[in-house]
Amino acid sequence: MTTYGSFPGTRPRRLRTTPAMRRMVAETRLHPADLILPAFVREGVSEPVPIATMPGVVQHTRDSLKKAAADAVAAGVSGIMLFGVPEESKKDALGTPGTDPDGILQVALRDVRAEVGDDLLVMSDLCLDETTDHGHCGVLDEQGRVDNDATLERYAEMAQVQADAGAHVVGPSGMMDGQIGVVRDALDQIGREDVAVLAYTVKYASAFYGPFREAVASSLQGDRKTYQQDPANVRESMRELALDLEEGADMVMVKPAGPYLDILARVADAVDVPVAAYQISGEYAMIEAAAEKGWIDRDRAILETLTGIKRAGARNVLTYWATEVAQKLGR
């Protein structure tokens, strides 16, 4: 006589039997509107310049950037985050191209707004590292240290010129104390209450930024550990979060994404504003490199990492695959 009681009465596998079943019960879904495309525009080039450490990503010309923005709109991507790469000869200790109305980032903002209008959120990186000859995110004092408060004055000026150039959203990324409050006040002073602030609330001093340094032609010598966060710390991130919200952040972000999913989940549970996460250059490069070697399935790995970031609590994800993934999701 057969004894059936030894078999399980509950079988979760029933909900995994077919693609249609798995799709129906999926708890986390990616959508094109979740995605934001980071893009680089380089001054003085006539053709897009490939970034060796980020296969498939380029430093755009003004024209190719406009096409990339139009492609993002067509795919349903929500936003584009712009990083400007000025000519080396224009960099200086104060990061003058960052506040020059004719600096490459401001020119690119005007270009993209003219191309896409309000169909795509045009976002601007608000930081000095791309424009300083020393490569730090702020101005330096006489001892060569980053001067927090002097840097805030530069950020206020940057916020105003970026808003005037057409940014819907500014993203202060330099990790200076008080940067969100200063930027919000600077925008309000010129009547730009409509420009949103995406706070780089949690930004760790990460090894995964390496390829980004090539992407923005960084002049940095040394590191940014005196202002970016220690990867060992959690409470520090929650303190930064409280400060940014108090200072008027409209949205908050965790960067990098993949190595800090625990932090992302903590932040998402704690706030009622939209939370973003930045899947950074090193995360991108690792997947592309492993896929090139044939060690992983590229497309599955991309979707798996993005799903994990969203599952951890991100409303939006900045990823260099934004347009590609959005096109596939649309199909």
Mean pLDDT of 113-137: 93
Instruction: List pLDDT tens digits, range 1-31.
Output: 566 667 788 899 999 999 999 999 999 999 9
Binding residues for Mg(2+): 240
Question: Could you identify the residue written with the tokens 């009622």?
Answer: 272
Helix (H) or strand (E) holding 252: strand 251-255
How far apart (Å, rounded) are the C-alpha atoms in residues 128 and 102? 16
Which residues have CB under 8 Å from 196's CB, separation 6+? 168, 169, 170, 250, 251
Confidence band (pLDDT; 50, 70, 90) for 130?
Answer: confident
pLDDT at 5 (0 to 100): 65
Task: Cite the active site residues.
Answer: 203, 255
How far apart (Å, rounded) are the C-alpha atoms in residues 148 and 29? 40
For residue 270, give the nearest of 284, 255, 283, 252 by alpha carbon.
252
At residue 138, does pLDDT exceed 90? no
- 171 within 8 A of 126, measured Cβ to Cβ: yes
At residue 215, does pLDDT exceed 90? no
Mean pLDDT of 284-294: 97
Bigger pLDDT: 88 vs 277:
277
Domains in the chain, ordered, with CATH?
A: 29-330 (3.20.20.70)
pLDDT at 81 (0 to 100): 98
Mean pLDDT is lowest, of 69-73, 110-114, 225-229, 259-263, for 225-229
Helix (H) or strand (E) holding 244: helix 235-247
For residue 209, give the nearest of 223, 198, 226 by alpha carbon.
223
Which two structure tokens, joined as six digits, stand for 216?
């923005």
Instruction: List pLDDT tens digits, range 170-190.
Output: 999 999 999 999 999 999 999
Q: How many CA atoms lie within 13 A of 75 on its CB side?
A: 25
pLDDT at 214 (0 to 100): 67
What residue ranges in 91-164 does DSSP mark as E strands?
Answer: 121-126
Binding residues for 5-aminolevulinate: 213, 224, 281, 320
How far apart (Å, rounded) are the C-alpha atoms in residues 301 and 155? 37
Phi, psi of 67 (to 5 degrees): -65, -40
Binding residues: 213, 224, 240, 281, 320
Q: Can you give the pTM of this predicted structure?
A: 0.94
